[in-house]
Amino acid sequence: MNKEALIDKYNVPVPRYTSYPTVPFWGNETPDVKQWFKHVKRCFTESNQTKGISIYIHLPYCERLCTYCACTKVITRDHKVEDSYIDALLQEWQIYLNEFDEKPILRELHLGGGTPTFFSPENLKRLINGIKSESELHPEYEFSFEGHPNNTTREHMQALYEVGFRRVSFGVQDFDPEVQRVINRLQSYETVKEVTEIAREIGYHSVNYDLIYGLPKQKLSSVKDTFDKVSELKPDRIAYYSYAHVPWKSKGQRLFTEEDIPNSAGKRALYDLGKEKLAELGYDDVGMDHFSLPHDNLYQAKIEKRLHRNFMGYNTSHTELLIGLGASSISDAKYAYAQNPKEIHLYKAASEKGELDLVKACNLTDEDLEVKKAILDISCRRELVFSNELKPYLPKTIESELQIMADEGILTFDSEKLEVTDLGMTFLRNICKLFDNRLRNAKAGESNMFSKAI
């Protein structure tokens, strides 16, 4: 079976596996904050001194609505919201600090959104200095942020550089003016070039571009032109994402019609062209939509088999405790997950009272922990050892299912180990799915809540 036929076969709804169990299978039990803190303290005690911790901070405000976006955001031009939101973030951080018996060691911090650069440079510095003031920095700490090319100023990048940031990710999506018009994200090549050059001039050692295929009005010619322009700027990393059309979740996506979106064959052609261009430009396929040049530490981590994957995507800091601060943020304490409310007023009200308000949580069973580790090994190290701890949780049909993929050239395996081939990198999500017992046991129709693999 050739690659095109394999893509047709495996282009089915599959989770992105930024967590296991995936969020739809967390259950509907009422979150127990005391139980959550027990998991947090256990994970912190076990890993803070050896690995440090990660922090994700969600900054939800945007001045304009990007119609393709399904993230939690609030559209406003009123910058008076900045101060009170940062106050709430620092109050939430203090809630966690009160639970720790020692200073947290910061290994990784990421600002996501929304638009983090909606906030003024001064307020961003106040936020980061507030986080750092009660923490220690790991010798190999890494701070990164998402920047909108239109409002990420030299002052933003300089201020964040001064408090420890060395990585920046710019949302480029597509350079075609018609695509930009439909998704309401107008930004010129010159603007992206300027912010990229400023970042490098200041001293940022890793610049990432987010690119998306499958957007409304997108054509092969526009993707080719986008990659031609990208080739001139050569970002250190590229995330080449599939557009997820979920208008029932994101009202902004109702501003264009299904007819504007490439069909399955058209989208696959966009994907194939993008992968071809990435290879031509020297980007290595790190896995699940992420690509990097060989000098970048993401590539080095892949080669040395020390990649990690969490709600922030692929990273080089294998921490076990990820604390999510802000509205809608998700935390991972190894043995449990928890999510904050998406509504800003509910989130702020709880933080101002010195309380944690969780709307969703999941306590992992022994089986979940073994499957979680297996999925991380596949997605981050391209291999899986069938340990005695994992074997009791393997599906009865796993050997025959793996054999099919082996015959197709996607992987190799024996009784002890599985290894992903170069061809199999395209189908990482499908391989992980074989070990997803929660999805395997799902009710009919529940798998359709995920986007397709391609």
Annotated binding site for [4Fe-4S] cluster: 62, 66, 69
How far apart CA 92 and CA 290 sit, in angstroms, is: 31
End-to-end CA separation in angstroms for the chain: 18
How far apart CA 147 and CA 117 sit, in angstroms, is: 6
Residue 379 structure tokens? 């997605």
21 upstream amide cis, omega within 30 of 0: yes
Q: Which of 76, 48, 26, 207 is nearest to 136 (CA)?
A: 48
Which residues are documented as binding site for S-adenosyl-L-methionine?
Answer: 56, 68-70, 113-115, 146, 173, 185, 210, 244, 330
User: Secondary structure of the chain: what % helix, strand, coil (to 5)?
Assistant: 45, 20, 35
Residue 241 structure tokens? 């994402």
How far apart CA 304 and CA 294 sit, in angstroms, is: 12
Residue 388 structure tokens? 């005695």
Q: Which of 178, 164, 298 is nearest to 235 (CA)?
A: 298
The secondary structure of 397-440, three-state, reads CHHHHHHHHHHCCCEEECCCEEEECCHHHHHHHHHHHCCCHHHH
CA distances from 180 to 119, 245, 256 (A): 23, 16, 13
How far apart CA 159 and CA 67 sit, in angstroms, is: 30
Which residues are documented as binding site?
Answer: 56, 62, 66, 68-70, 113-115, 146, 173, 185, 210, 244, 330
Instruction: Give the contacts of 81 (CB within 8 A, at least 6 positions apart).
Output: 61, 74
